[in-house]
Structure 1
């Protein structure tokens, strides 16, 4: 794939028994991802969203954790993973070592407990925003988004409502209202 003209973002990973289902956002030439055999839905001019099923050790390990994003480039893949504590980090690193997978940690940041959104709310809100759920008119409906995320419509609706409430509450709190 020509990484100078195309980009791939991994938005979510789910373990489905003997393979993993990866929610991806592809930006670039449609013919490039079609060469890979991927069937993605167009959400804007050069932006596509969909799931791909793969059998890979890295994604299998990462599917156990909250992935904020992943991106592919000529030099490899980069992941932003949210972990609850250092014990979870240690457990994840042990899985990579036991699987003989070499990884490099670029940065560790301790999150503040006063964050407005949970990691899952932030992840879902970002995916919904990028997919065009909040556009007028909507580029993707809630049932389509739920299907892409492999979660129920009611679960997605609840996550979005709670996230929206948290953001709106924080907005007004900052202004003293």
Structure 2
């Protein structure tokens, strides 16, 4: 279970000419298109989120793209699914959870992911190197639960939910997907999450009451 292991947040930069989204962008000739996010879906496929100008939308007709949003004068937000590339699959096959993949320039992409243990991190880097990639480690830090009013499980669930985009709008991961990544059932995830949020709110408003100088 992910919650019972030491969790590390990793950010690496990789030159990845195999990226499926960059391949599609090049094939369609879409200008000013950006890779925003990469996610593993529960069924095993990889979901790519891309953004491109509204006037480029005709280039994607007939493609298996799901248009998520469009409005006059703004960009199109769309997603599509693939079986992933060697970089994504190397990260995900080791039990890591991919938070995001963001395109920089050329074939350079920054990947953020969470790994259950330092050994898993080393295995991922070693695997990428053996495949001919040259991952540049931008950051690596271990999540250390703070001693306080939250239980360790509550803090880990809240930290992971925050990192994985559960509180983003729109959400990058839903309850079922996050619970599966954590190795727990959705009802257990919801119970731990609600308990942790309740304690945070109680602590926040208790603090506000104690420091209120208006009475």
TM superposition score normalised by structure 2: 0.55
Q: 1:131 aligns with which of 159, 170, 190?
A: 170
Say if 2:147 is the partner of 1:121. Answer: no
Q: CA deviation at 1:39?
A: 1.2
2:143 alignment partner in structure 1 = 111
1:170 alignment partner in structure 2 = 200
2:86 alignment partner in structure 1 = 57
Q: Deviations over 1:141-164 (max 9, x none)?
A: xxxx689x6999xx5576456435
Higher relative contact order (CA 8 A, sep 6+): 2
- What's the C-alpha RMSD, in Å, of the aligned pairs? 4.0
Q: CA deviation at 1:22?
A: 1.9
Tell me, what secondary structure is at the counterpart of 2:166? helix
- 8 Å contact kept, 2:145–2:156: no
- 8 Å contact kept, 2:38–2:99: yes
Q: 1:41 aligns with which of 40, 63, 67?
A: 67
Give the Cα–Cα distance (whole angstroms) in 2 for the partners of residues 102 and 88 of structure 1.
17
Distance 1:91 1:25, change over 3 A: same
Give the Cα–Cα distance (whole angstroms) in 1 for the partners of residues 179 and 86 of structure 2.
23
Gaps of 5+ in 2: 1-24, 147-151, 208-215
- 8 Å contact kept, 1:21–1:51: no
- 8 Å contact kept, 2:52–2:76: yes
Gaps of 5+ in 1: 134-144
Query: What is the number of residues matched between the two proteins?
Result: 160
- 8 Å contact kept, 1:12–1:22: yes
Give the Cα–Cα distance (whole angstroms) in 2 for the partners of residues 74 and 176 of structure 1.
48
Larger Cα Rg: Structure 1 or Structure 2?
A: 2
- 8 Å contact kept, 2:39–2:100: yes
TM superposition score normalised by structure 1: 0.65
Moved over 3 A (4+): 1-6, 35-38, 43-47, 114-117, 149-152, 155-165
Q: CA deviation at 1:13?
A: 1.9
Distance 1:24 1:87, change over 3 A: same
Say if 2:107 is the partner of 1:71. Answer: no
Q: Deviations over 1:86-131 (max 9, x none)?
A: 21111111211222222111111222223834354331514xx332
